[in-house]
């Protein structure tokens, strides 16, 4: 296959081999300069981190052959660079689009054979059993979200999914002027395949073999939002995509193995979601953020083996797992937070961990002599976690789980463990409440419209902690500047000097919080900054172009006088989107490098500045606060709070 793919007499190669087996011939074709007609999802979903740079290097075009991505490709033809704002993928809704979740659950218990038959019958498309089942679970759309990210370079927060039962509109794009372009046609896979193979030309088709669309006879075209409780595959797919690296391949491989076993009637319909979640959870410890092709294939096989052994162990109990309530999905995404960023380590900007190699990190400190170095402390920590969880391999994990499941109950030990956990929770909560928590919202939108403010306020409120949010801009009639916002924040925090302050800031509010921490080093315990606007004066044009805002002369003049990179001497956690077009990621990386050189004077002693962490989130721009549900574990760990995500789970009815 490899020799055929790179044969000198061919111009393009159609890749239709299922799974990671399609990667070697695809790589060979790319290296030989052949354009790729892509009919194999795994090429990008699993191999995207390696395949896309390779295609760019060799000047090769990747042309999608599936209907949705072919539609997007057709819509963007002739579009100027920078004109694409949003991708809208349409989903038929699959076999269960008109069946409510309660009925599906009842059917899974009373007549699983009928549910199985329903899941493998598509109402619109004539496709194979696997893709038909993926359509029923909406897993195909979750995979297409990841594929769209790699094909078109669009951030995950700019890729939407809508249910369109008629399957006439195959996908849409929104441009920066808010126009929406759609590609329409009868649901027939021959057209996108034909277009991919004939591009940039079009082949004339007779009306006999290809009936025209009759808009009068066609009837209504309807749209609705997908139900995430009914289709947990979508939030799982977004989580895998934002995790990046090998997580997307594990997500795809686990699904492929699960569907194969479902089709063989070895597991229930709802178990598909369960085993994929468990495979992703298990892979967190082995996540490779910058994988080679060998890494991609290795963890693809590991995910398949994990699912197979998990199902064959007989430990999947019940056809309708209650874990897939929407509230529990939020908890699942929070648990995936430790794998979400492409950068997620104290004082580092790239963490690479594989089973056969020591974990290494790319230091963000400008004082480092060697950019790439082994982190002994990190290695020891991971070894300790592996030993504690007995989870060096999937089979070890299953063996450990099996022993726990089959062990006789020990009521006294369970009571002791519950008492210990309760005491630890209360101790952690008491310590957490000794601080004052303050949120500084974006000066342009205010706290009231901030997702971060609403989400964190609700989460902290569940454990009895109030998140104060002073109004930093005054009334709408008042002219404000960053300096006046800083004065307002300073006044709001006066009179409570006994409690140290923990600051959380978003966008321009994060910059204000950073300046307050610089001016009040003895009052601020820690800062958590979302998309901070370092060097604000240089960013005003970005705000105006992106949001159409106009800054007053006073605001501009004030911004010119402000320090570009405030010197924060307390521990700081910065969360920054990889695709931030307002405040570039490189500014946070520069601030991290500068931070390594700062020192803090305490009497006659001199200490290195507090711990720095940079969390780089792949697939997000300036709206990085939307990743908070996936990053809540890091937020609670940084502030040493009780596990808010676990507490919320316990409170769910």
39: Cα separation from own chain's centroid? 24
| Best CA proximity match to 573, nearest among 350, 348, 374 | 348
- Tell me, what's the pLDDT at 388? 45
Q: Where residue 572 sits, what CATH number does that domain have? A: 3.40.50.1820
The band of 512, judged by pLDDT with boundaries at 50, 70 and 90, is very high
Q: What's this model's pTM, rounded to 2 decimal places?
A: 0.53
Q: 531 with 443: CB under 8 angstroms?
A: no
Instruction: Please write the tens of the pLDDT for every residue from 384-438.
Output: 444 443 333 334 434 443 444 455 666 777 788 778 878 887 888 888 999 999 9
Domain hosting 461: range is 426-651
**The two structure tokens encoding residue 81:** 């660079």
Distance of alpha carbon 130 from alpha carbon 272, whole angstroms: 12
The band of 372, judged by pLDDT with boundaries at 50, 70 and 90, is very low
**The two structure tokens encoding residue 381:** 């920590």
Distance of CA 79 to CAs 29, 30, 74, 175, Å? 28, 25, 10, 9
Q: 146 with 136: CB under 8 angstroms?
A: no
Residue 479 included in any domain: yes
Distance of CA 441 to CAs 343, 424, 490, 538, Å? 24, 32, 15, 20
Residue 28 included in any domain: no
| Best CA proximity match to 290, nearest among 62, 52, 57, 633 | 52
**The two structure tokens encoding residue 558:** 């004030």
| Best CA proximity match to 13, nearest among 53, 57, 60 | 60
Number of domains within the chain: 1
Residue 417 included in any domain: no
163-177, 273-287, 308-322: least confidently modelled range: 308-322
| Best CA proximity match to 31, nearest among 56, 9, 64, 67 | 56
428: Cα separation from own chain's centroid? 29
What's the full length of the chain, in residues? 653
Q: Which residues pair with 169 in a beta bridge?
A: 184
What ranges make up the beta strands (E) of 375-471?
A: 436-440, 467-468
Instruction: Please write the tens of the pLDDT for every residue from 516-540.
Output: 999 998 999 999 999 999 999 999 9
Sole residue written with tokens 């009306």: 207
| Best CA proximity match to 241, nearest among 619, 547, 535 | 619
Residue 15 included in any domain: no
Residue 250 included in any domain: no
Distance of alpha carbon 237 from alpha carbon 351, whole angstroms: 22
Query: How many degrees, rounded to 5, is the angle at CA 116 between CA 112 and CA 121?
Result: 150
Whether residue 10 has pLDDT greater than 90: no
Residue 102 included in any domain: no
CA dihedral 485, 487, 492, 493 (to 10 degrees): 120
Whether residue 288 has pLDDT greater than 50: yes
Residue 200 included in any domain: no
56-60, 333-337, 434-438, 468-472: least confidently modelled range: 333-337
Q: 213 with 206: CB under 8 angstroms?
A: no
Q: Which residues pair with 599 in a beta bridge?
A: 608
- 233-243 and 271-283 helices cross at what angle (nearest 10)? 20
Structure-model confidence comparison of residues 254 and 421, the more confident one: 254
- Tell me, what's the pLDDT at 357? 30
Sole residue written with tokens 């579009």: 79
Whether residue 508 has pLDDT greater than 50: yes
Helix (H) or strand (E) holding 63: strand 62-64
Residue 477 included in any domain: yes
Whether residue 25 has pLDDT greater than 80: yes
């Amino acid at each position: 296959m490899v020799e055929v793919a790179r044969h000198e007499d061919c111009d393009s190669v159609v890749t239709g081999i299922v799974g990671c087996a399609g990667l070697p011939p695809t790589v060979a074709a790319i290296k030989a300069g052949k354009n790729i007609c892509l009919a194999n999802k795994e090429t990008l979903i699993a191999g995207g981190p390696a395949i896309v740079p390779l295609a760019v290097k060799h000047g090769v075009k990747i042309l999608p052959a599936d209907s949705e991505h072919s539609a997007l490709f057709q819509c963007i033809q002739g579009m100027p660079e920078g004109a694409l704002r949003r991708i809208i993928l349409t989903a038929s809704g699959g076999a269960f689009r008109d069946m409510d979740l309660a009925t599906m659950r009842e059917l899974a218990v009373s007549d699983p054979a009928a549910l199985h038959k329903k899941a493998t019958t598509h109402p619109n498309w004539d496709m194979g059993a696997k893709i038909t089942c993926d359509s029923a679970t909406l897993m195909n759309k979750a995979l297409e979200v990841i594929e769209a990210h790699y094909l078109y370079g669009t951030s995950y927060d700019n890729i939407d999914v809508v249910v369109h039962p008629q399957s006439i509109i195959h996908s849409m794009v929104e441009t920066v002027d808010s126009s929406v372009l759609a590609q329409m046609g009868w649901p027939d896979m021959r057209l996108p395949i034909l277009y991919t193979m004939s591009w940039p030309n079009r082949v004339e088709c007779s009306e006999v073999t290809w009936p025209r669309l009759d808009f009068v006879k066609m009837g209504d075209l309807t749209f609705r939002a997908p139900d995430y409780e009914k289709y947990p595959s979508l939030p799982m797919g977004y989580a895998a995509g934002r995790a990046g690296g090998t997580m997307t391949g594990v997500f795809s491989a686990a699904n492929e193995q699960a569907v194969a076993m479902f089709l063989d009637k070895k597991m229930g319909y709802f178990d598909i979601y369960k085993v994929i979640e468990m495979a992703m959870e298990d892979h967190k410890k082995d996540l490779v953020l910058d994988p080679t092709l060998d890494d991609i294939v290795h963890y693809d096989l590991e995910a398949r083996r994990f699912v197979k052994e998990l199902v064959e162990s007989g430990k999947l109990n019940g056809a309708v797992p209650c874990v897939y309530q929407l509230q529990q999905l939020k908890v699942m995404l929070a648990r995936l937070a430790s794998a979400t960023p492409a950068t997620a380590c104290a004082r580092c900007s790239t963490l690479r961990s594989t089973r056969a190699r020591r974990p290494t990190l790319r230091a963000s400190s400008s004082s480092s002599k060697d950019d790439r170095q082994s982190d002994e402390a990190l290695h020891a920590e991971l070894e300790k976690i592996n030993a504690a969880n007995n989870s060096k391999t999937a089979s070890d994990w299953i063996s450990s789980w099996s022993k726990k499941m089959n062990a006789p109950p020990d009521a006294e030990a369970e009571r002791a463990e519950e008492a210990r956990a309760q005491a630890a929770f209360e101790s952690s909560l008491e310590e957490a409440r000794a601080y004052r928590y303050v949120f500084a919202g974006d000066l342009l939108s205010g706290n009231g419209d901030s997702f971060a403010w609403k989400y964190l306020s609700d989460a902290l409120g569940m454990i009895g902690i109030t998140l104060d949010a002073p109004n930093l801009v005054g009334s709408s009639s008042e002219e404000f500047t960053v300096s006046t916002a800083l004065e307002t924040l300073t006044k709001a925090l006066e009179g409570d000097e006994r409690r140290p302050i923990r600051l959380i800031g978003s966008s321009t509010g994060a910059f204000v919080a950073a300046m307050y921490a610089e001016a009040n080093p003895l009052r601020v315990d820690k800062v958590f900054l979302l998309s901070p606007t370092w060097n604000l004066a240089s960013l005003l044009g970005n705000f105006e172009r992106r949001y159409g805002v106009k800054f007053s002369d006073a605001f501009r003049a004030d911004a010119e006088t402000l320090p570009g990179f405030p010197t924060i001497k307390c521990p700081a956690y910065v969360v920054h989107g990889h695709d931030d077009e307002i405040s570039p990621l490189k500014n946070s990386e520069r601030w991290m490098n500068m931070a390594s050189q700062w020192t803090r004077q305490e009497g006659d002693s001199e200490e290195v500045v507090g711990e720095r962490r940079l969390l780089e989130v792949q697939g997000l721009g300036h709206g990085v606060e939307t990743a908070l549900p996936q990053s809540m574990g890091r937020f609670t760990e940084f502030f040493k709070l009780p596990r808010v995500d676990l507490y919320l789970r316990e409170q769910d009815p």
